[in-house]
Every structure is written in structure tokens, then in C-alpha cells.
Structure 1
Amino acid sequence: MIRTGEQYRESIRDGREVSINGEVVRDVPSHPMFKPLVDIRARIYDMQHDPAHAHLMTYQEGDETSAIANRLPLVQADWWDKRRATDAILDTVGGVVTRVGDETVGEMWSLFDGQDILNDVDPQFARNIRDHIHHVLHRDPFHVSANTDPKGDRSRPPYEQDPDMLLHVVRETDAGLVVRGAKYETAAAYANQAFTKPTIADWGDAACSDYALGFICDLSSPGLKFLCRTGFAGRGAPEDYPLSSRFDEIESLVVFDDVLVPWENVLFYRHTRAAQFIRATLHRYSAFAFVQRLLKQADLLIGTALLSVRQTGLEGRSAVQEKLAQLAVYREGIHAHLTAAITLGERSPAGLLMPNQSLLYAGRVLACGQLPQMMHLARELCGGQVCLTPDAAAFRDPVSGPWLQKFYATTAANADGTGAEDRRRLLALARDLLNSDYAGHRLSFALFAQSPPFAHLAAVYRSFDWDGPLAFVRQAAGLASPSPSDEGSSVSGDH
């Protein structure tokens, strides 16, 4: 059943070993670095019970109410429902949050599509993935994803360096697998479980490998240690940093110090084919929510830039309109790919409805690849005051305040019924969105959160229908039809 925000908070008060900036965290929900995102995740849980949002956030199956985000997508309407629910969340919290569960639960659906592969090694693994999908639907945990490893010496295979550099099995027991190593995981310190899986493609010379391992990790398990980066919350006054004070999602290096993974949580093990399958198909569903977040990021860029030029009376200039139009084209390009991916959805091997793979992956390349340029366009439109404006305390100071009120109250702003304080507030948001440490962190995160750019393009290469253009050119050029052997060598997509 759907949980409340308070039930979620209590679920992460489980004695887990969390440290940040050299400090041992005694209570994650109340710690100032974690509290802003814990509160947002709790607010999302409470939205499921709020009559104003419940119809967007939940669905009824028999006597049970479940979260739309966790529902298996079977028909096109399921994707529209998911899209509306995500929009409602981001609109309500007033910003973009990436790791709240809906964007990672889809990764398990990808493995659900690979049940025949899991059955090759052990039918129990296919049953386990079905059980865990059922668990998410009916228990409503905060589910995240664990992919990225500490890099070590990447010129050497894992078995030629410290064996603990990459997560691996150290022994089997009657109760399950004992694993050791580490993973980077966003939000793990305040989540309930993580789909933990390998990122490397070089499994060594053997068909089986102790590194080819996928499982659901209970984040309250003994032996886990969460070594977190210092957050941005608290570094400056919230009125000066309105985004980083509320929306910073803390990453952890999660150390597995001989952690027991019960057999019922193991999804594949010593099965390189399953590991390769999940890496090739991991984002066939989860990329949708990820790209939708970037659509909301585009809205933030457009709204910030447009308000700024209106406050300063520049919207009527053609050069300004051209830059605003470029931002709009970027935004509408993402919107078009998401819409088309739903409309032209494809049936998966397990009977689910996938977003059209070629369109979804192409939309991800567009959204990620052009994001740095679009941020710079918004920076240009906001002008140099973004990096020059004093903090809020200076506007309240009896000595500096009157001068700042004078010079920040523009004619155009006053005509809109706004003044220096509204100008300061907008510039503070623009600084946090475009120029702050947080802005740079979020940009890097967007570029790598679903694998690096080359992997984004590789996904497009695998999913694009190359046969259509080839046939068109063969006909136009009067070329002979391909032989059966040529057809067999053509690129196959992830359909």
C-alpha cells in the first residue's frame, strides 16, 4: 500500500552507517544535509494521500491503492499517467528532483523483459524479479539504482587489480551471497533499496564471472557503509541559493563490507549474458523519466531568462527574441521526442509497452547534448548581474540597502508591479541555476547520470531502424537487392 511521508522517514531510521564531511550521521531525516531531500520525498508520499493530487499519483487495483510511478506500463495511457504524475510532483515541489524512485524502478522492468535469459541459468532468478516488481507495487519503497563503480586502473581488467575495487561475490552460503566492493549511488543514504548491477563490459576470459552480479540491495543491511559527499545545503542562505538549499541530491560511495544478499534478492549471478543484456537494455524505460526531468530543466531556463529580459525591458529586441526562440526549440524538441515515444510505443519481449526506443534515445541525446549550450544562452539573457549581485543581507542592510534598492528597481520591473526585491530574488535563482557550484554539479550529473555521452549514442545506434534509409537509397540509386548474407549483417535494434 502507498506509504505516508512519516512512514518513509521512520523507515530510514534503521541504524545505517552514514558519514558526511567527516561526521557520523546519527539521524538521517533530520540532518541538515539530507533533510531537504528527505522532506521532498516525504512530501511526494503525502501527495499520494492528498485529495488534490491522489487522482494523478495513484491508481486502484481491487481494494489496494498503488503509486502510478511503480505501475507496469501495459498500454499507452499508462505512460501519459506517469508523465502527468511526474509533472505534478515537480510543479508542487517547485524544482527538478532526479532521484525519487520513478526514474529507477523502470530498470527492473528491463530485467523483467529478460526472464528467458535468467531462466537459462536458474528459474529462481526470473521468479525473483517478478517478486520484486510485485514488492515495489505493493510496499511502495524508495527505490534507487546502483551502477557506477570506483574506477581503479581502467587499463587493467578487474582480476589484475585490487579485487575489491569492483563489487563481487566473495562466497556463497545457504542464506545467500556475501559481496564485497563499492558502488556510487545517488540518494542511497536516504533510500530503502537499490537495484545493484555491474557497469563494466569486460568480464574477463571466462563465460562466468563473480563481477556479473545483479541484486536488490536492502539499504539497511549490516555491513553497508555510506560515505557521502558534502552537500550544498547550508553553504549559503536559502534566500540566496533557493535551489541548492532544497534540491541537492546527495551521492554516496556505498561500501559493501561482506554484505549478505539473500537468495531471494539475487537477480543474476555468474551469468555474463544476463549482465550484458541488462547493460544494453537498462534504460529502455527509465530514460523516459530522466528525459522528462530535462524538459522541466528547460522550463526553468526559459522562465528565468524570460523574466529577466522582461524585468529589464529587453524582450522586444530581435536578438533577445532569437535567443529565447532557441531555448524554446530546445524545449519543444525534448517535448516532441517524449510525446512521439509514447505515441509510437513498442511491445517488449515480456508484453510491456516500451516508449519507442529510437525516439526516446534520440531525445536523450538532444536533451543532454544541448544542455550546456542552453544554460549558456540563459546566462547571456540574464546578463552580468547574475555574477555581480550582492546577497540578500546587503539588500536589508541600513547602509547598503537603500543604494541597492535604488539601482535594482528598474522601470520595466516597476511597471510590472515589481521592484528591487523581486529582481534580487530572480537573480539569486538564476545564479543558483546557472553559475553556482550546484549548477556545475547538476550539469555534470545530467551528462553522466544515465551513462556517458558515447553510450547514449551507442543506444541510438542499436535502436535506430537502419533498414528504411538503406532500402530508400537502394531504390533511388537502382542498386540490386541485398543478398541474404548482407541482410544478416545489418544492424539489429533493441526492439
Structure 2
Amino acid sequence: MIRTGNQYRDSIRDGRRIWINGERVADVTKHPMFQPLVDIRARIYDMAHESAHAAAMTYEENGEINAVGSKLPRNAQDWRDKRAATDCVLDEVKGVVTRVGDETIGEMWSLFDGQDVLNEVDPRFSQNITRHIDWAVKNDPFHVSANTDPKGDRSKRPQDQDPDMLLHVVKETDAGIVVRGAKYETAAAYANQAFTKPTIANWGDSKLSEYAVGFVCDFSSPNLKFIARTGFAGRAPAEDYPLSNKFDEVETLVVFDDVLIPWDNVLFYQHTRAAAFIRATLHRYSAFAFVQRNLKLADLMIGAALWNVKQTGLEQQPAVQEKLATLACYREGINAHLTASIVDGEVSPGGLYMPNQSLLMTGRVLACSQLHHMMHIARELCGGQICITPDAATFADPEAGPWLNKFYTLNDSWQAEDRRKLLAFARDLLNSDYAGHRLTFQLFAQAPPFAHLGAVYRNFDWSGPLEQAKESAGLSDRIYGLKAAAE
């Protein structure tokens, strides 16, 4: 059944060993750099119990109320419901959060589609993935993703250097496998579990590898260590950095110091074919929620830029309208890919309804590859004052404040305080350390750019253009076997 916010908070007070800013964290739910996101995740849980949000956030099945985000997608309406639930959350928290669970559980659905591959390895693994997906639906955990290893010297095989640079199995026992290494995981310090799987690796011709392992990791397990980067929350006043102080999702290096993974939690092990399958299909579902976040980010950029030109009376200028229209095209391009990927969805190998893969993956490339251009256009529209405006404390100063009030008041409708708030918001959205971090995160969070394009290459239907060009040029059917390839 769906949990409450307090039940979630209690679940992560499990004695886990967390470090940030050079100190050991006593209570992750109360630490100033973690608490803002803990509170947002708790708010998401509580929304599911409130009459104003329950219809969008939950569904009933077999007499139980479950979260829409974890529901296996069986038809197009399931995806519309998931999209509506995500919008409901982002509208409620008034910002963009990327790692809150609904966008990572989909990675396990990809493995659900690969049960034939798992059955070749060991039928138990296929049973494990089915059970864990069902468990996630019924128990509503905060589920995240573990992909990236430290990697070390990437010109060498992991076996030719410190082997722990890639997570690997060091021992088998009757109880399970023992793993050693580390993974970078966003939100791990305050999540319940992670689908842990190999990063992009070169196994050569090997059929078996101790590095080809995937499992569900319970973050309350002994011998885990969570070493987090410094957060943005609390580094500057919330009045000046409203996004940094609320929406920073802290990344963590999770160290597996000989951690026992029970056999029931192992989803695949040793067989490189299973590992290669999950790497190739990992984002066939989770990319949808990821790209949807870019849509909301585009809305925030458009809103900040448009309010600024309205404040300053420039909205009728053709050059300004051209830039606003460019932002709108970016936004609607993302929207079109998301919408069309549902309408033209496909039945997956496991019988699920997956978004049209070519449309979804090209939408991801559009959203990520053009983001920095759109941020720069929004900066232009917001003007130079976003980087030179004094802080809120100076506006409140009895001597300096009146002068700022004079020069930042635009007219009767736009007083200095609203002007200051808009500029602070735009600065944090576009110019701050948090803004730069988000830009890099969006570029690499699901995969690096070459992998984004690789997914497009694997999913685009090349047969149509080949056939059209062959027919238009009058090529024979013998040329390169195109007709057979098209069929």
C-alpha cells in the first residue's frame, strides 16, 4: 500500500553511514543539505493520501491503492496517467525534481522484457525480476538507479588495474553474492533501494564476467558507505537562491565494501549477454519521465524570460518575440515527441506498452542537446541584471534599500520586491552553480550524448528511407540486398 511521508522518513533512519562536507551525518532526514529533498519526497508520498491529488497519483487494483508511477504500463492510458501524475508533483513542489523514483523504476521494466534472456542464464533470475516489480508496486519504495562506476583508467580492462574500479562479484555463498566496488547514485543517501547494474563495459568475447551483475540493493544493507558531494542547500540565502535551496538532488558515491546481496535480489549474474541487453534497453521506459522533466524545465525558462520582458515592456519587440518563439519551438518539440511516442506506442517483448522508441529517443536528443542553447536564449531575454542584482539582505537594509527600491521599481504594477524575486529566480535557474550542475546532469544523467544518439540509431526504422531512395533511383533489388533488408 502507498506510504505516508513519515513512514518514508522512518524507513531511511536505518543507521546507514553517510558523509557530506567532511562530516558523518547523524540523521539524513534533518541534515540541511538533504532535508529539502527528503521533504519533497515525503510530500509526494503524502499527496497520494490527499483528496486533491489522490486521483492523479494513485490507482486501485485488487482492493489495494498503489502509486501510478510504479504501475506496469499496459496501454496508452497508463502513460497518460503517469504523465499527469508527474505534472501533478512538479506543479505542487513548484520546481523540477529528477530523481524521485517514478523515472527509475522503469529500468526494471526493461529487464522484465528480457526474461527470455534471463531464463537462458538461470530461471531464478526471471522469477526475481517479476517478484521485485510486484514488490515495488505493493510496497511503494523510493527506488533509484545505480549505473556509473569510478571506472579508473579506461584504456585498461578493470582486471588490469585496481579491480574495484568497476563493481564486481568477489565471492558466492549459499546466502547470495558478495560484491565490491562503488557506484555514483543520485539521491542514494535518502532512498530505499537501487537497481544496480553494469556501466558501459568492454567484455570482449567473454561470455562470463564477474562484472556482469545486476541486482536490487537494499540501502539498509551492512557494509554500504554513502559519500556525498557537497550540496547547494544552505550555502546562500533561500531568498537569493530559491531553487538551489530546495531542489538540489545530492549525488553520492555508494561504496560496496563486501556487501552481501541475497540470491532473491540478484537479477542477472556473470552472463555478459544479459548485461549487454540491459544496457541496450535500459531507458526504453525511463526516458519518458526523464524527457518530461526537460519539458517542465523549458516551461520555467519561458516563464522567467517572458515575465522579464513583460516587466520591462519589451514583449512587442520583434527581436524579443523571435527569441521567445525559439524557446516555444524547443518546448513544443519535446511535447510533440512525448505525445506522439504514446500515440504510436508499441507492444514490448514482455507484453507491456512501451512508448515509440524512435520518437522517444529522438525526443531525448532534442531535449538534451539543445538545452544549453535554450538556457542562453533565456539569459539574453532576462538581461544582464540577473548577474549583477544585489541580494535580498541589501534590499532590506535601511540605508541601501531605499535606493534599490527606487531603481528596481518599474511601475505601479511591478514594484521592487517582485522585480528582485524574478531576477533571483532567473539567476538560480540559469546562472548559478545549481544551474550549471543541472545542465551537466541533464546532459549525462541517463547516458552520455553518444549513447543518446546510439539509441536513436538502434531504434530508427531505416528500411523506409532505404526503400524510398531505391525506388526513386530505380535501383535493382539485388543492390546490397536492400529489398530483403527492408522486408
TM band (smaller chain): over 0.9
Distance 1:244 1:283, change over 3 A: same
**Take 2:478 and 2:432, find their aligned partners in 1: how far apart are those partners?**
55
**Aligned partner of 2:475 among 454, 471, 479:** 479
Q: Which residue of 2 aligns with 1:364?
A: 364
**Take 2:70 and 2:165, find their aligned partners in 1: how far apart are those partners?**
33
Distance 1:206 1:249, change over 3 A: same
1:291·1:364 contact (CA, 8 Å) conserved in 2? yes
1:157·1:204 contact (CA, 8 Å) conserved in 2? no
2:467·2:483 contact (CA, 8 Å) conserved in 1? no
**Aligned partner of 2:423 among 423, 427, 444:** 427
SS of alignment partner, residue 104 of structure 2? helix
Q: Which residue of 2 aligns with 1:35?
A: 35
Q: Which residue of 1 aligns with 2:23?
A: 23
Q: Aligned letter for 1:91?
A: D
Q: Which residue of 2 aligns with 1:223?
A: 223
Q: Aligned letter for 1:4?
A: T
SS of alignment partner, residue 211 of structure 2? coil
SS of alignment partner, residue 106 of structure 2? helix
1:291·1:363 contact (CA, 8 Å) conserved in 2? yes
2:477·2:483 contact (CA, 8 Å) conserved in 1? no
**Take 2:472 and 2:480, find their aligned partners in 1: how far apart are those partners?**
21
SS of alignment partner, residue 443 of structure 2? helix
Deviation at 1:105, TM superposition (A): 0.2
Equivalent pairs, count: 487
SS of alignment partner, residue 283 of structure 1? coil
**Take 2:309 and 2:393, find their aligned partners in 1: how far apart are those partners?**
25
**Take 1:311 and 1:406, find their aligned partners in 2: how far apart are those partners?**
15
Q: Which structure 1 segments of 5+ residues have no match?
A: none
Q: Which residue of 1 aligns with 2:177?
A: 177
- Write out per-residue CA displacement over residues 51-98 of structure 1, whole angstroms, 9 at most, x where no aligned residue: 000000000012100000000000100000000000000000000000
**Take 1:230 and 1:219, find their aligned partners in 2: how far apart are those partners?**
20
Question: Aligned pair 1:465/2:461, yes or no?
Answer: yes
**Take 2:131 and 2:50, find their aligned partners in 1: how far apart are those partners?**
29
SS of alignment partner, residue 225 of structure 1? strand
- Write out per-residue CA displacement over residues 104-140 of structure 1, whole angstroms, 9 at most, x where no aligned residue: 0000000000000000010000000000000100000
Q: Which residue of 2 aligns with 1:68?
A: 68
Q: Aligned letter for 1:151?
A: K
- Write out per-residue CA displacement over residues 26-48 of structure 1, whole angstroms, 9 at most, x where no aligned residue: 10001100000000000000000
**Take 2:484 and 2:218, find their aligned partners in 1: how far apart are those partners?**
44
Q: Which residue of 2 aligns with 1:451?
A: 447
2:56·2:85 contact (CA, 8 Å) conserved in 1? yes
Q: Aligned letter for 1:461?
A: Y
Deviation at 1:488, TM superposition (A): 6.6
Q: Which residue of 2 aligns with 1:56?
A: 56
Deviation at 1:200, TM superposition (A): 2.4
Question: Aligned pair 1:395/2:402, yes or no?
Answer: no
Q: Which residue of 1 aligns with 2:46?
A: 46
The TM-score, its normalising length taken from structure 1, stands at: 0.97
**Take 1:288 and 1:387, find their aligned partners in 2: how far apart are those partners?**
34
Q: Aligned letter for 1:121?
A: V
Deviation at 1:487, TM superposition (A): 5.8
**Take 1:484 and 1:118, find their aligned partners in 2: how far apart are those partners?**
35
1:179·1:261 contact (CA, 8 Å) conserved in 2? yes
**Aligned partner of 2:435 among 423, 439, 454:** 439
**Take 2:202 and 2:428, find their aligned partners in 1: how far apart are those partners?**
40
Equivalent residue runs for 1:114-125 within 5 Å: 114-125=114-125
**Take 2:121 and 2:359, find their aligned partners in 1: how far apart are those partners?**
33
Q: Aligned letter for 2:329?
A: V
**Take 1:418 and 1:193, find their aligned partners in 2: how far apart are those partners?**
47
2:387·2:431 contact (CA, 8 Å) conserved in 1? yes
Equivalent residue runs for 1:154-165 within 5 Å: 154-165=154-165
SS of alignment partner, residue 180 of structure 2? strand
Distance 1:261 1:397, change over 3 A: same
- Write out per-residue CA displacement over residues 189-221 of structure 1, whole angstroms, 9 at most, x where no aligned residue: 000000000012302542100000000000110
**Take 1:233 and 1:114, find their aligned partners in 2: how far apart are those partners?**
40
The TM-score, its normalising length taken from structure 2, stands at: 0.99
Q: Aligned letter for 2:372?
A: P
1:33·1:232 contact (CA, 8 Å) conserved in 2? yes
Deviation at 1:464, TM superposition (A): 0.2
Q: Which residue of 1 aligns with 2:404?
A: 404
| 476-485 or 49-58, larger mean C-alpha shift | 476-485
Q: Aligned letter for 2:471?
A: Q
**Take 2:279 and 2:56, find their aligned partners in 1: how far apart are those partners?**
32
- After TM superposition, the runs of 4+ consecutive aligned structure 1 residues lying more than 3 A away are 482-490
Q: Aligned letter for 1:288?
A: F
Q: Aligned letter for 2:27?
A: D
**Take 2:245 and 2:204, find their aligned partners in 1: how far apart are those partners?**
44
2:467·2:482 contact (CA, 8 Å) conserved in 1? no
Q: Aligned letter for 2:430?
A: L
The percentage of counterpart residues that share the same residue type is 71
Q: Aligned letter for 1:385?
A: Q
SS of alignment partner, residue 210 of structure 1? strand
Q: Aligned letter for 1:429?
A: F
**Take 1:200 and 1:138, find their aligned partners in 2: how far apart are those partners?**
31
Q: Which residue of 2 aligns with 1:84?
A: 84
The two structures, once aligned, show a CA RMSD in angstroms of: 1.1
